[in-house]
Amino acid sequence: MKADLNMTPRELRHLIRTGEFTEPTSGYCPGYAQANLIILPKEEAYDFLLFTQRNPKACPVLEVTDVGSRLTKFVAKDCDIDTDFPKYRIYENGIMKEEVTDISSYWRDDFVAFVIGCSFSFESEMIEAGIEIRHNTEHCNVPMYMTNIDCIPAGKFSGKMVVSMRPIPYSQIVKAVTVTATLPKVHGSPIHIGDPSMIGIKDIAKPDFGDPVTIKDGEVPVFWPCGVTPQSIVMNVKPKLAITHAPGHMLVLDVKNVSLKE
Amino acid sequence: MKADLNMTPRELRHLIRTGEFTEPTSGYCPGYAQANLIILPKEEAYDFLLFTQRNPKACPVLEVTDVGSRLTKFVAKDCDIDTDFPKYRIYENGIMKEEVTDISSYWRDDFVAFVIGCSFSFESEMIEAGIEIRHNTEHCNVPMYMTNIDCIPAGKFSGKMVVSMRPIPYSQIVKAVTVTATLPKVHGSPIHIGDPSMIGIKDIAKPDFGDPVTIKDGEVPVFWPCGVTPQSIVMNVKPKLAITHAPGHMLVLDVKNVSLKE
């Protein structure tokens, strides 16, 4: 089976499960929500769940799996946490040790998986509203940046927010805000519009995650809170072990964006 | 100091702290959010926090205090969890043992307090929209009912949803839905409109909590998820100890409703 933007989420997950699809998922399954991942041992799960409650713009939780369960119960059927993301990152003591396409061999009975909303979800709504998504046009991953914005600490977890960036023409900025604001469970409205230095980004051409994209004359960089934030937190707090998705390589859910508007 | 509907939240909390005000708080400090309470030992806090994540309509969390801290950090300043609700309930093994106006003598260093949004918050918005709030007009507590609606279980916690009821004229039902839907952090839109038996309520004249109110000809009972739901869960699951507010006797926060619309 070959990858096709209009596959069903289940078809795409099955293709990913075979190991044949390891690309970023932006643009796939338009209308369906996509999700970030962080897996932690149960002993750290309370502090992290509290962290998400205190930082809902960066970490809007769509599902937390039961302890030790690799299957999602609410956001998708027939969905394996350990195989259905195209790419994962293994963090040991805050350092990224490895990127893999399957984490079955790492799985432990005390793991809890946090499935967190992703801004790829609202891109199809932006496209319908007539807004170009530059990283789709340029066939690359969305640019993501570390910022100087402090998350609200919770227990052992603290650190800076990560943002994703999309260049938007002046005439469409209001539309970009209002369209995304209707979807708070996949990050919602932007956190910053304009001057990158205001949020601690030194060089817009050098994203910390993903790829750079062209910002044309008459366009403004617009920044949304990003579900890679947990990775920034992991790098800061250095827990013994954490497993995340690789930035841009998301889980595609059975849940439609419209159902997240309730 | 005498109670006055237009006191500031801080003034009302201070009056409550003296023990001189022990009434329901509906109608007080219009425009400011009010909150429900459940306190559990830390060992049960993860399961309950996950329960709130899975049941956000009934249990929209506004703040979870740090372990052992009686002070709120985010929703109000100078706010003592153990004195600033007009009335509390002590549940032992799922049975309500006592109603008290101060829980200082019960406080333990392993307590975690969940401050949960309350539908009293949106009543001032309904009033501004021209909707009468019957329990205010009749100077009593809002009627609340146990239902047959299952909450989504999480860890050890499971049970039925509690709802609050306001009679609404047919001509204002849509308005009541749209006004409250803008405030998901204080329960948001109704869970049911009309026939009480559809959600397992046998006698609308006999609420399980609070007081009955008149339903006039041409009015329909409209039901919102209620922050007394944790008490239904406690009665079902029977944890050794849980402390809650007494239904209708809420904490008034410094947070305005408008700031919860973001």
pLDDT digits 0-9 by tens, A86-100: 999 999 999 999 999
Q: What is the pLDDT of residue A151?
A: 98
Query: How many other C-beta atoms can be found within 10 angstroms of the C-beta atom of residue B194?
Result: 13
Per DSSP bridges, beta strands B95-100 and B88-92 are antiparallel
% of residues, chain B, pLDDT over 70: 99
Token output for A77: 């059927």
CATH 3.40.1640.10: which residues of chain B? 9-119+236-261
Asked if the Cβ–Cβ distance from A54 to B46 is below 8 Å, we say no
| Across A119-123, B94-98, B170-174, least confident range | A119-123
Per the prediction, chain B carries an average pLDDT of: 96
Partners of A64 on chain B (C-beta within 8 Å) are 50, 53-54
> Is pLDDT at A20 greater than 90 in this prediction?
yes
Look up the CATH superfamily of B9-119+236-261: PSTPO5379-like (3.40.1640.10)
Partners of B64 on chain A (C-beta within 8 Å) are 50, 53
Q: Which of A48, A49, A51 to probe by mutation at the B interface, max B CB count within 10 Å?
A: A49
Partners of B42 on chain A (C-beta within 8 Å) are 46
Asked if the Cβ–Cβ distance from B64 to A45 is below 8 Å, we say no
Partners of B43 on chain A (C-beta within 8 Å) are none
pLDDT in tens, B63-78: 999 999 999 999 999 9
Partners of B49 on chain A (C-beta within 8 Å) are 46, 49-50, 53
Token output for B197: 């038996």
**Chain A: residues touching B (Cβ < 8 Å):** 45-46, 49-50, 53-54, 61, 64, 66, 74, 152, 155, 189, 262
CATH fold of A125-225 reads: PSTPO5379-like fold (3.30.2040)
> Is pLDDT at B3 greater than 90 in this prediction?
no
CATH 3.40.1640.10: which residues of chain A? 9-120+234-260
Helix ranges restricted to H, chain A? 9-17, 42-54, 123-128, 134-137, 173-181, 229-237
Token output for A49: 């769940």
Q: For B183, which residue in chain A has the nearest alpha carbon?
A: A262
What is the enclosing helix (H) or strand (E) of B110?
none
> Is pLDDT at A132 greater than 80 in this prediction?
yes
Strand partners, A219: A169
When CB atoms are compared, the residue of B46, B74, B152 closest to A46 is: B46
Partners of B46 on chain A (C-beta within 8 Å) are 45-46, 49
Asked if the Cβ–Cβ distance from A53 to B50 is below 8 Å, we say no
> Is pLDDT at B250 greater than 80 in this prediction?
yes
Q: Which of A42, A63, A64 to probe by mutation at the B interface, max B CB count within 10 Å?
A: A64
State mean pLDDT over B79-101.
98
* 3-state SS, residue B239: coil
Cα separation values, B49 from A145, A243, B43, B46, B195, Å? 30, 22, 11, 5, 32
Return the CATH number of B132-225, one of 3.10.350.10, 3.20.20.70, 3.30.2040.10, 3.40.50.300. Answer: 3.30.2040.10
Domain with residues A9-120+234-260, CATH architecture = 3-Layer(aba) Sandwich (3.40)
> Is pLDDT at B97 greater than 90 in this prediction?
yes
When CB atoms are compared, the residue of B50, B74, B152 closest to A49 is: B50
Contact present, A46 and A64 (Cβ < 8 Å): no
pLDDT in tens, A40-90: 999 999 999 999 999 999 999 999 999 999 999 999 999 999 999 999 999
**Chain B: residues touching A (Cβ < 8 Å):** 42, 45-46, 49-50, 53-54, 61, 64, 66, 74, 152, 155, 189, 262
Strand partners, A113: A39
pTM of the model: 0.94
Q: Which of B43, B57, B64, B112 to probe by mutation at the A interface, max A CB count within 10 Å?
A: B64
Rg, chain A, Cα only: 17
pLDDT in tens, B136-190: 999 999 999 999 999 999 999 999 999 999 999 999 999 999 999 999 999 999 9
> Is pLDDT at B198 greater than 70 in this prediction?
yes
Q: Which of A50, A63, A156, A189 to probe by mutation at the B interface, max B CB count within 10 Å?
A: A50
Q: What is the pLDDT of residue B262?
A: 63
Q: Which of B40, B50, B72 to probe by mutation at the A interface, max A CB count within 10 Å?
A: B50
Chain A closest CA to B212's CA: distance in Å?
Answer: 30
Chain A to chain B Cβ contacts (< 8 Å): 27
Asked if the Cβ–Cβ distance from A50 to B49 is below 8 Å, we say yes
Q: How far apart are CA A19 and CA A175, in angstroms?
A: 38
Cα separation values, A190 from A163, A187, A221, A225, Å? 9, 8, 11, 7
Q: For A60, which residue in chain B has the nearest alpha carbon?
A: B53
User: Comparing C-alpha atoms, which of B56, B168, B143 is closest to residue B178?
Assistant: B168
pLDDT in tens, A238-255: 999 999 999 999 999 999
Partners of A189 on chain B (C-beta within 8 Å) are 262
Q: For B153, which residue in chain A has the nearest alpha carbon?
A: A66
Q: What is the pLDDT of residue A179?
A: 95
Q: How confident is the model at residue B102 (pLDDT cuts 50, 70, 90)?
A: very high
Contact present, A104 and A17 (Cβ < 8 Å): no
C-alpha distance across the termini of chain B, in Å: 35
> In terms of C-beta density within 10 A (0-12 exposed, 13-18 middle, 19 or more buried), how is residue A148 classed?
exposed
Partners of B45 on chain A (C-beta within 8 Å) are 46
CATH 3.30.2040.10: which residues of chain A? 125-225
> Is pLDDT at A262 greater than 70 in this prediction?
no
Q: What is the pLDDT of residue B2?
A: 81
